[in-house]
Amino acid sequence: MDSTAFITDCLAQVHLRLMATCDDLSNEQLVWRPAPTANNIGFILWHLVRNEDARVTNTGKLDADLWATGRWHEKFGQPATAPDPGDRMGLRALAIPSLEVLVGYAEAVHRRTLRYLAGLTPDSLDQLPDPARPEYDVSGSLRHLITHKNNHHGQIDYLRGLQDEAWDLPRGTGVVLP
């Protein structure tokens, strides 16, 4: 397996596990917070998908995020340029749409990520999307994306466990479990 196939496999697996973890969430589970300042599953899911959307746009030098071009921001009641990642209170107040909308956005971004990855070669992983920032080559950006998605999937899985002590990743989802 070459490096681009490995990266694609890693991102496909975390996406499958993430979607299985979010399957059949009720609205109450989606917006539940274990503490007033804690993030809920809906926000974490939006954040990790929004990050993937922006990262693939920037790394692949694509025209624009699906957040804007797919009009996903409208489904969140936000302008295309919002919310500002530095606005913690604004982010905490982000309206969380239905699970269907969140999963729809996640699936659309994942499909675009797979299309981007399909065009990469092992040699292209060393390219610099922004020569002014040589520490951020394509491979480093994708490594961060894999880590980011796995970290936030773990948070969502943990919150599911807090909501239901019998929670476990569903079997029979086509997800390869250890």
What digits encode the pLDDT tens for the residues 11-35?
A: 999 999 999 999 989 999 999 999 9
103: exposed, middle or buried (Cβ count in 10 Å: 0-12, 13-18, 19+) = middle
Neighbours of 50 (CB within 10 A): 21
What confidence tier does 177 reach under pLDDT thresholds 50, 70, 90? very low
Helices marked H in the chain: 3-22, 27-31, 41-59, 66-69, 72-75, 88-92, 99-118, 138-163
How much is the average pLDDT of 110-118? 96
Query: Which residues have C-beta within 8 Å of that of residue 9, sequence separation ≥ 6?
Result: 1
What digits encode the pLDDT tens for the residues 60-77?
A: 988 899 999 999 999 988
Predicted TM-score (pTM) above 0.85: yes
How much is the average pLDDT of 150-178? 79
As a whole-number percent, the residues of the chain with pLDDT over 70 amount to: 90
How much is the average pLDDT of 136-144? 93
Q: Cβ distance 169 to 154 under 8 Å?
A: no
Give the start-to-end residue ranges of the domains of the chain: 3-163
As its CATH architecture, domain 3-163 has Up-down Bundle (1.20)
